Amino acid sequence: MNSSMIGKIEKARRYAEEPDRAQIRSLHVEFRGDHDVYDVRLVGGQWSCTCHSFTALGLGTCSHIMAMERLLGPMMPADVPVSGHSAATL
């Protein structure tokens, strides 16, 4: 492996330890819940999910979206409100 590639790998390792460098702007996740598989999307700063809770309750969030917010953590864009913020501190 040449030294230029080694330098890139070292830089990638350092970048990966600072996840707030990467802000996710759009996302499509196939989320396997306990009962079914759902499509969770982040588009234009808005979350959506195909599960019954999201579509029927009108809360703007659901357990799948809240789980994604936890998984993404510092990679969530600062301008997207965290839907499960109060729940995330429980």
Minimum CB distance to Zn ion smaller for 18 or for 30:
30
* Gap between the Cα atoms of 54 and 47, Å rounded: 10
Nearer to Zn ion, 51 or 76 (CB): 51
53 in Cβ contact with 62 (< 8 Å): yes
* 42 lies in the site for Zn ion, by CB under 5 A: no
Of the pair 23, 63, the CB lying nearest Zn ion is at 63
Size of the site for Zn ion (CB under 5 A): 5
Draw the binding track, 51-70, toward Zn ion (x: CB under 5 A; -: no contact). x--x-------x-x------
Sign of the alpha-carbon dihedral angle for 55, 61, 63, 66: positive
Kindly give, in sequence order, each residue whose CB lies less than 8 Å from that of residue 36, ignoring residues fewer than 6 positions away.
51
Q: How far is the CB of 31 from Zn ion (least distance, A)?
A: 7
- Reported in sequence order, the residue ranges of the chain that DSSP labels E, i.e. its strands, are 27-32, 37-43, 46-49
Interacting residue ranges for Zn ion, rule: CB under 5 A: 49, 51, 54, 62, 64
